[in-house]
Structure 1
C-alpha cells in the first residue's frame, strides 16, 4: 500500500529540515547562507497585497512574502505561495531565449519557500519548492521542481541521520562493485583512476573516502540553486538538482539528485527525453535526445546523445557517446562511441579511443561471475563487430580487426593491428601497423584531440602525442618481444638448431642481430609469439622486419623532438637538464602521464595526510604537470641513447648534430606517409565508383590538395628543418 501522509495545509512550505535544528537556528539558516541578499528585501505594502489578491494570487501568510523595492505586483498572477518567499526586482520586460519570449514575473505556479533574483520568469510550474533562482532565470512549463532537506546533488555522501545503505556509489571498471568509488562534484579522471586501483591498500582507500566526506557539508537543509540566466522549459520532474549559470534544460523527463555545472564560458545543455539520476555533470556538457544515465560522472565538455545509456560509469573530458550502452566503465578523456549496437562493459579505457559499430567490449561468457575487466591503453580502436571477453589488456594504439575473439587477450605491442584469422586458426598481430599503413590517422589523432580540448580548467595535463613515455616504454617491450620471437623462429629451423641449450639472452641476441643485419632473412621466417592469447593456437607476428627498425627510428625521433621543444639555449644547458636521464615505468593517471616514482611519492603523501583533500591532490596534479616537460625530456633522451647504444657520458655535440640531420629524413618519411595513406582513398577505384568523375568526388569529400591537415604537416616539416638548422648553428654542433 502506498504511504500517503496527510498533514495540515498550514504546514506546507514549513518545517523543511526534518532533523533537530542547531541551537539558535531556524529552518532557513542554510538557505540564508546560500542566498546572501536577504537584507535587500522588505515586507509587502498593503496596496501590493491587494493587487496580488486581485490578480488571483494567494498566500498562507502575506507577511512571509518579501520583495525588493523594484517589485511590481502586476507581474505576479495566478500563483499560490506557501512559506517564506523572497522575490527580487520585477520590471515590465519580456525575456527571450531561442525564440521563446515570456514576460518577466511569476504566473500560474505553486511556490513553496523559494528565493528569486531579479527579473525572473516563472510560468506554469505546477510545484516549485525550496529553490533559489538567480537573476534573469527562465523556468516555464515544469511539472515538479523541488528539493528535499537531505539533497546531496549527486555527491556520494550521507546527510545527518542517513544510513550507509543510502549512499550513492559508482561501480567502475568491474561489475561486482569491487572498485566502487563515491562520486563528487569536481572529480577528475585521475581521481577516479587512483581510487579504482590499489584496492588492497586500505589506508589509501580510506583517505579517498575521507577526502570526499569532508569536502561536503553533512547538514540537512540546503536548497537547490539555479544560476543566473539559466533556462528551464518543458521538463517533467526536477528533484534535488543544483544548476550553474547559463545552463539550458529543455524537455527532460526526469532529473534527480544531480549537480549540473555550467558557466558563461562553458554552458551545459540537457535536451528532450533525458532521464538522469544520481550524477555529476561537468562544465560545458551536452546531454540530449533520450539519454538515460544513472550513477555517473560526466567530466567537462563531454557529450551524451541519441539514446545513449551511461550507467555506473565515468566519462572523461571531451568525450562523446551516442546511441550505445556503457556500463561499469572508467573512460579517460577523448573517447568516441557513436553506434547503437556498441556495448562497453567493465572496462578501463585510457583515452583517444574509438568504438566502432557492433563492438562488444566486455563479455562475461567465460566466467562464473560478473568480475571480469578489460584495460586498454591510449588510442584503443576495436573495429566493426569486434567481440572481446574479460579479462583482456591492450597496449597503446591497438587496432582490432573485425572478428569474434573467443579467448582472453594480452596485446603488449603498441601500434598493432590484431587479426583473428579463422582460416589459418591463428591470432595474427602486425606491430607498427599505423605507421606502415595509416600514418594519416595516427598523426591526425594526436592533432585533433589537442584542437578539440575545450576544457576551461586544465588541472590535469593530458598527453595526446602518440610518441610519449607510455607508448615508448611499450615500444621497448615490443622490441624485446620481436627479438626473442625472431631468435626462436631462426633456431626452430632444422639447420639452425644449436648444439647446446641456449639462454633467453642468447636467443634475443640472435634475433636482434638478424633484425638489424639480415631483415630479408627475417621476412622469410614464420615468427610466433607467446602469452598473448589464452588458447592453444598459435600467435603469429607479421612484418616484424619492417616494424622493428621503424620502432627504433621513431624512438630516436621521440628523443630529438623533445630536445628541440625543450627550448634550451645551448648543448651545455641540455646536458644539465638531462644529467639524471633514465628510462622507467610510466602510468596513465586519467590521461595525465607520470613516472612510477612520482606516482609512488604521490600515494605516500596521501597515506601520510600530507595531501589531505581533493583540492590538495588536484594541486599536486598541476605541480606534476609543470614538471612533465622536464621528466619527459629526460625519458626521451634516455630512450634515444639506449637505442643508439651510447652512454650518457659519451653523448657529444657531433652525435647530436648527426642525429638531428637524420631526424629530418624520418620527418620527411612521416610527412610523405601521411599524404600517401590518405592518397589511397583518392586512387582506390572502389572509393571512386560512386562519383561521376574526380571533380564530383572533390566537391563531395574535398580535394587531396586542399586537405588542411596534410598541408599543415607540410608546413610543419619546413619549420622542423629550419629549427634543426637553427639549433645546429646556435649550439655550434
Structure 2
C-alpha cells in the first residue's frame, strides 16, 4: 500500500527540517541563509504590490513571507501559488533569450514552495518548485517537478542525521561483487578512485579514504538545491535533489535525481533529451545527450555520454566519450573512446587512451562461480571489432586485439603487441612491437590528439600521454628478457637439445646472442611464450627479431629525448653538468594512478602519509598529486637515462662523451624511421586498390578523404623531425662531441 500522508495545508512550505534534526537555537532556514548569503537585500511587499499580485491571480499562504528586491515589478508575476518563505530578486521588463527560446522575465503559471530567486529570473510553467535557490538570469521553463528534500546528498556517498547506513550510495567499481566499492564525492579524481579500489587488504588506508569523504561533507539536514547564474532548464520532467553550477543547459531530461552537476562559464555542462541520471556526479564541461541512462556514477570533467549509452556503477575519466553501449562496474582513466553499438564493458580497469571497437565484449561475468571477475588493461588498450574477452585477463600498455572470441584468460605483459586468435592452427599469436612496424600513424597521432583534446581547466593530475613513458618502457625492458628467454628455448628445441639441465640465465644469454648477432636465424625459428593464456594450446611470438631491435632503439630514443628536453629547459652546456644526473639515475617500478605516473617509492610514500595522518583530506591528497606532478619531469629524466644505460649495458660512470654522441646520432636515425613509418602506414590507405574502388578516380578520392601530402599531422611530424635534428646538431656542436 502506498504511504500517502495527509497534512494541513498551512504546513506546506514549512518545517523543511524536523525539530529533532535542528541544532539548538537554529531554525529551518539557517543552512539556506548560509547558502544564499544575500542578507539585507530584500524587503516585504507593499500593499500595492500585494494587490497587484492578487489581481494577477497569484496566491500565498502568507504575503508577509514573501520578500522582494527594490526593483521588483509585481506585474511580472502571474498565476503563481506561493507557500512558505519566498525571496524574489529584481524583476525588470525584459525577456531572456537562449537558443531561440524567448521568455519574459518573471514568474508565471508555477507553484513555488520556499525558494530564493536571484535577479531577472524566468520561472515558467513549473508545476512544483520546492526548496531551491536560483541565481541571476536563470531560466526554468516547462518542468513537472523540481524539488529538494531535507536529506539531499547531491550524489555524494554520505548519510545525513538520522539516516540508516544502508541508504549510503556506493559505486561498485572494477568488480561486480562490491569488493572494490567506493563512496562517490564531488571532486573525485581518477587517481582517488584508483587508490581507493586497490589495496583492499590495507584496512588503515581504506578507513582513511572513508574518513576523507565523511569529513568533506557534514551530516546536517536542510541544504537547498542550487542553480547557478545563467543556467537554462527547459522541458524536463523530474529534477530532485540536484545541485547545478552556472551556465549549465538542461533540456528534455526525463529524470535527474541525487546529482551534482558542475558547470561554469567556459566549461558548461549539458544534459539533453530523454536522459535519466540518478545518484551521480558530473564534472565541469560534461555532456550527456539522447536517451542516456546513468546510475551510481562519476563523470570527470569534459567527459561525454551519448546516443543511449548506459553507465552504471562506473567512473568515467576526463576527456572520455561513451556512445551507444553499456558500461558496468568499471573504472576508466582519462581519454577513453567507446563510440559504437553493442560494446559491453564490465568489471574492468581501463587505464586510459583506449578505444573500444563495435561489438566488443570486454569481460564476460559468467565464467566464474560468482560474478567476481576483473580485467586490467594498461594505457592504449584497443580491442578490435567483435572481440570477446574473458575474466580474468590483464594486458600491458598499448595492446591491440584482433577480431575474435578469446575463450581463455590471458596475461599479456609485452607492450605494443597485436594479439591474434588463430583458430585455424588453434594457436594464440602475439606480435610484439606491432604498432612500430605496421600502424605508427595511429600510435603517434593518438598521443598527439590526447594532448590536443585535454580540455581540463584544473589540471591537478599530470596525465602522461606519450607512448614512450616510464610505465611502457619498464614493460619493454621486462619484455626484452622475456623475448631473450623464449628465443633461447626455441633455438635449443630447433637443435633438438634438451634444456632441462640448463639454467635460465644460460638460455637467456643464448637468446640475447641470437637476437643481437643473428636476427636472421631468429626469424627462421618458431618462438613460443609461456604463462600468457590459461589453456593447453601454444602461444607463439611473431617477428621477435624485429620487435627486439625496435624496443632497444626506442628505449635509447626515450633516454635521449628526455635529455634534450632537460638540456633545453635548464640550458646545460656540457656533459659534466649532465653527468651528476646520470650518476644518480635509477630505474624502478612505476604505477599508473588515474593517468598520472608515479614511481613505486613515491606511491608508497604517499600511502604512508595517508596512513599516518600527514594527509588528512582529499584536498591535501590533491595537493600531493600536484607536487608529484611537478617532480615528474625530473623523475622521468632519471628513469629515461637509467633505461638507456640498461640497454647500452654500461654503468653511469662509464657513460662517456662518445656514448652520448652515438646515442644522439642513433636517436635521429630512429626518429627518422618512425616518421617515415607514420607516412607509410597512412600511405597504404591511398595505395590500396580495394580502398580506391569506391571512387571514380583519384581526384574524387582526394576530394573525399583529402590529399596525403596535405595531411596536417604528417606535416607536423616531419616538421618535428627537422627541429629534432637541429637540436641534436646544435648539442653536438655546442658540447664539442
TM tier, shorter chain?
over 0.9
Per the TM alignment, residue 700 of structure 1 is displaced from its structure 2 partner at its CA by 0.5
Partner of residue 292, structure 2: 291
Please name the residue that 1:624 is paired with. 628
Cα offset, 1:654, TM superposition: 2.3
Are 1:299 and 1:316, in contact at CA under 8 Å, matched by a contact in 2?
yes
Residue 495 (structure 1) shift: 5.1
Q: 8 Å contact 1:577–1:630 — kept in the other structure?
A: no
CA distance in 2, matches of 1:20, 1:387: 52
Aligned to 1:355: 356
Q: Does 1:644 align with 2:635?
A: no
- The answer to whether 1:164 aligns with 2:168 is no
1:585-664 matches, cutoff 5 A: 585-664=589-668
> Which residue number in structure 2 is paired with residue 189 of structure 1?
190
Where 1:22 maps in the other structure, the secondary structure is coil
Q: Report how many aligned residue pairs link the two structures.
A: 732
Matches within 5 A, 1:419-568: 419-494=420-495, 496-497=497-498, 501-566=501-566, 567-568=569-570
TM-score, normalization by structure 2: 0.99
Deviations 1:73-106 (A, max 9, x none): 0000000000000000010000000000000000
Distance 2:72 2:192 in 1: 47
- State how 1:103-252 maps to structure 2 within 5 Å: 103-252=104-253
2-structure distance, mates of 1:579, 1:271: 57
Write the distance in 1 (CA, Å) between the matches of 2:390 and 2:655: 47
Instruction: Tell whether the 8 Å contact from 2:21 to 2:220 is kept in structure 1 after alignment.
Output: no
Contact 1:17-1:149 at 8 Å conserved across structures:
yes
Q: How big is each residue's C-alpha offset from its partner over 1:565-604, in whole Å with a ceiling of 9 and x where there is no partner?
A: 1123132332233432111100000000000000000000
Counterpart CA distance in 1 for 2:504 and 2:597 is 32
Query: How far 1:662 sits from its partner (Å)?
Result: 1.5
Report the alpha carbon displacement of residue 730 of structure 1 after superposing the two structures with TM: 2.4
Q: Deviations over 1:294-338 (max 9, x none)?
A: 000000000000000000000000000001000000000000001
Confirm or deny: 8 A CA contact 2:555 2:647 kept in the other structure.
yes
Cα distance between partner residues in 2 of 1:152 and 1:321: 26
Shift of 1:655: 1.5
- Cα deviation per residue 1:596-652 (whole Å; 9 max; x = unaligned)? 000000000000010000000000000000000000000000000110111101112
- Offset at 1:23? 1.5
Return the offset for 1:365.
Answer: 2.9
Give, in whole Å, the separation in 1 of the partners of 2:340 and 2:672.
37
- Partners of 2:266 and 2:273 lie apart in 1 by 23
Structure 2: distance between partners of 1:317 and 1:75 = 42
2: CA distance between counterparts of 1:303 and 1:431?
A: 33
Mean CA deviation greater in 360-369 or 5-14: 360-369
Which sits farther off after the overlay, 17-26 or 328-337? 17-26
- Three-state SS of the structure 1 residue aligned to 2:369 is coil
- Aligned partners of 2:655, 2:50: CA distance in 1, in Å? 87
Is residue 2:275 matched to residue 1:274? yes
1:728 and 2:728 matched: no
Deviations 1:87-130 (A, max 9, x none): 00010000000000000000000000000000000000000000
Alignment deviations for residues 417-463 of structure 1 (CA, whole Å, 9 cap, x no partner)? 00000000000000000000000000001000000000001000000
8 Å CA contact 2:356–2:384 kept in 1: the answer is: yes
Tell me, yes or no, if the aligned pair for 1:168 and 1:182 is still in contact at 8 Å: yes
For the residues of structure 2 that align with 1:369 and 1:324, how far apart are their CA atoms? 24
The SS at the match of 1:66 is strand
Deviation at 1:154, TM superposition (A): 0.2
How far apart are the structure 2 equivalents of 1:173 and 1:98?
40
SS at match of 1:40: coil
Gaps of 5+ in 2: none
For residue 354 of structure 1, give the secondary structure of its aligned residue in structure 2. strand
Q: Which residue of 2 aligns with 1:679?
A: 683
- Partner residue, 2:402: 401
Any stretches of 5+ residues in structure 1 without a counterpart? none
Identify the residue that residue 42 of structure 2 maps to in structure 1.
41
CA apart distance, 1:497: 4.8
In structure 1, distance between residues paired with 2:105 and 2:650: 75
Which moved further from structure 2: 472-481 or 277-286? Answer: 472-481
* Alpha-carbon shift at residue 477 of structure 1 (Å): 1.3
TM-score with structure 1 setting the length = 0.99
**Secondary structure at 2:40's aligned position in 1?**
helix
1:493 and 1:317 map into 2 onto residues whose CA distance is 50
Instruction: Kindly report the root-mean-square deviation, in angstroms, between the aligned alpha carbons of the 2 structures.
Output: 0.8
Whole-angstrom CA distance in 1 between matches of 2:275 and 2:146: 16
Over residues 178-233 of structure 1, what are the superposed CA-to-partner deviations in whole Å (9 max), with x where a residue is unaligned? 00000000000000000000000000000000000000121000000000000000
Is the partner of 2:112 in helix, strand or coil?
strand
Whole-Å Cα distance in 2 between the matches of residues 32 and 579 of structure 1? 61
Give, in angstroms, the shift of residue 5 of structure 1.
0.4
Distance 1:415 1:400 in 2: 11
CA contact (8 A) 1:578 1:633 kept: no
Q: Deviations over 1:513-558 (max 9, x none)?
A: 0000001110110100000000000000000011101100000000
Deviates more, 1:449-458 or 1:723-732: 723-732
Q: Aligned residue for 1:304?
A: 305
- CA distance in structure 2 between the partners assigned to 1:421 and 1:12 by the alignment: 70
Distance in 2 between residues matched to 1:586 and 1:655, nearest whole Å: 27
1:689 to 690, 693, 699: 693
8 A contact 2:21–2:161 mirrored in 1: no
- Matches of 2:304 and 2:379, distance apart in 1: 19
Aligned partners of 2:270 and 2:287 also within 8 Å: yes
Measured in 1, the distance between the counterparts of 2:650 and 2:118 equals 69
